[in-house]
A and B are shown apart, each in its own frame.
Chain A
Amino acid sequence: MTRALGQHTLRIVHELGDFALFTTRAFTAAIGSRKLSRRVIRAIYEQGVRCLPVIVIVGLFTGLVLGLQGYYVLTRFGSEGVLGTLVSLTLVRELAPVLAALMLVGQAGSALAAELGIQRNSEQIDALETMGASTHAYLISPRLIAALIVFPIQTTIFALVGLFGGYLSGSVVLNLQPGVYWSAVHNAVKGQDVRECYIKAAVFGILTIAICAYNGFNAHRRRSSTGARAVSASTTRAVVFSSIVVLAADYIITSLLVNQP
């Protein structure tokens, strides 16, 4: 029992170290990499443009539900005038970075893990290694750089669409004065909130894309499964781990930043 626990702990520590090296190598390998910008643009398209519809849809419905729930709760206290404050702070501080990251994990992250897993299975990654190319610079760095750009943009879009959703349910459906709603939004959101939002988005972007890339890239190392099953297991693991890490990192970042003036 103790031995098994110790082995398991050692394996986790080893994997964490390996993951840290993997991510660091991906950033350092980007320096001087040829045609990197072309691959970054392609990754931005994959993570950004392709995921935009789901971000807009989820953002809109999140805002609609927030507006609806918030309005009825605030009405109990006669405070429906602060609906804009509730919707905007909830979105900007928490829901936009977290939900946008989870949506991106579900779409772009899973696709990345599966793509790299298949490339590993079909020896495409081995081919890159044998030709002396940096697999990190070619496959991973563009995705991480793109994540640093895409996640904050997608989070912004999520928050803006969510605010509009709150306006729709609060003002259009439930007849709250639009001026009251937008004025509350304007007064509530401070620079610190926006900064917290972008810090979270960038951290979630790096963590989730690195986790998905790491799992796909190392699909062949899985002892419990091989071939197509290894790809599916790696993809599942990538999505589950990324989602948990987003929530855990959200708590850590919030607890670090929330007390700052």
Chain B
Amino acid sequence: MSTPDISTDLFLDVCGLHKRFGDNVVLAGVDLAVPRGSVITVLGKSGTGKSVFLKCLAGIVHPDLGEIRFDGQPLDAINATARTEFRRRCSYLFQSNALLDSLTALENVALPLEQTTQIPNREIRERSLEALRQLELDKHRDRYPSQLSGGMQKRLALARAIVTRPELVLFDEPTAGLDPIRRNSVFEMIVKYQRQFGFTAVLVTHDLPEALAASDQVALLDGGRMQFQGTPEAFNRSDNPTVCAFRDSAGALRDTIAALRRGETITSKEEL
């Protein structure tokens, strides 16, 4: 693994995270250092365990082994106070959005404030409306998630994630299923609100160009371990074979298709 170029102020520090489901080893000693206030993207092919890794961070999936330190405090099953504190200061944006389908857009955004704070109802409403306004959803506040488009649902999930003014936001495939224009706008939103609110962001995606443009650091998860962590520039320069294969996949596809069009026989190097 390349030496990460990070500051000493680590907000989230993951060491040797292991997770297996039956015989399937998904994470085999994952390390990740997340500096405070940075945007860090975890890249990787589909099925390499990126979402599992993020769910381990969020406490939805319990790791078999390893340590997660949040702002210096270890997060484990015994330390319930640290986990509660983590949840208070952290938001999670699910790949599926996970919006409560029986609540309206406004109720969805207000929910974390209602359920986890003692803020007066009027202020909750104002803050929720403000979050909806920021994401241009205020006209749709009385609609249910099923009445919104995929892009709107994503923005609504983002509004719910930022309404509590979290210090850490975990984004699980925030652009999954979106067209290129919407994909760009989601990355723009993430960077914009990260700058505005100053939260630390950990993203999981396989959208390479957008991730490189939007992140302070990128990490590459493959074979159950982080194969690389560093700046986007270092990622582009890296001669790590796994990084090269991932980085050059678009060029490799172009070459393969050109060869197929010329009638050449291509032997697949890797199973899909």
What residues make up the interface of A, taking CB atoms closer than 8 Å to B? 34-35, 119, 122-124, 126-134, 137-138
From A34, A35, A127, A133, contact of B92 by CB (8 A): A127
**A35-B114, A130-B59, A131-B91 known, 8 other contacts, Cβ within 8 Å:** A34-B115, A124-B101, A127-B98, A127-B100, A129-B59, A131-B92, A132-B84, A132-B87
Which residue of A34, A35, A119, A137 has the most chain B CB atoms within 10 A of its CB atom? A34
> Is B96 in contact with A134, judged by CB distance below 8 angstroms?
no
Cβ–Cβ < 8 Å partners of A34 in chain B: 114-115
Min CB distance, A141 to chain B, in Å? Answer: 12
Whether A130 contacts B114 in the complex (CB less than 8 A), given A123-B94, A124-B101, comes out as: no
Q: Is B158 in the interface zone, CB < 8 Å from A?
A: no
State the CA gap A126–B98 with chains docked (Å): 8
Residue-by-residue, is B54-97 near A (CB-CB < 8 Å gives 1, otherwise 0)?
00001110000000000000000000000010011011101010
**Are B114 and A131 closer than 8 Å at their CB atoms?**
no
Query: How many positions in chain B have a CB within 8 Å of any CB in the partner chain?
Result: 22
**Chain B minimum-CB-distance residue to A132:** B87
A191 CA to B87 CA, complexed, in Å: 51
Does A130 lie within 8 Å of B115, measured CB to CB?
Answer: no
Distance between Cα atoms of A144 and B91 in the complex (Å): 29
> Is A132 a contact of B115 with CB atoms below 8 Å?
yes
Give every chain A residue within 8 A of B59 (Cβ-Cβ).
129-130
A-B contact pairs, 18 of them (CB 8 A): A34-B114, A35-B114, A122-B96, A122-B101, A123-B96, A124-B101, A127-B94, A128-B115, A129-B87, A130-B90, A130-B91, A130-B92, A131-B115, A131-B160, A131-B164, A132-B84, A137-B115, A138-B115
Chain B 89-129 per-residue mask, 1 if CB under 8 angstroms from chain A, else 0: 01110101011110000000001101110000000000000
Q: What is the chain A residue whose CB lies nearest that of B108?
A: A127
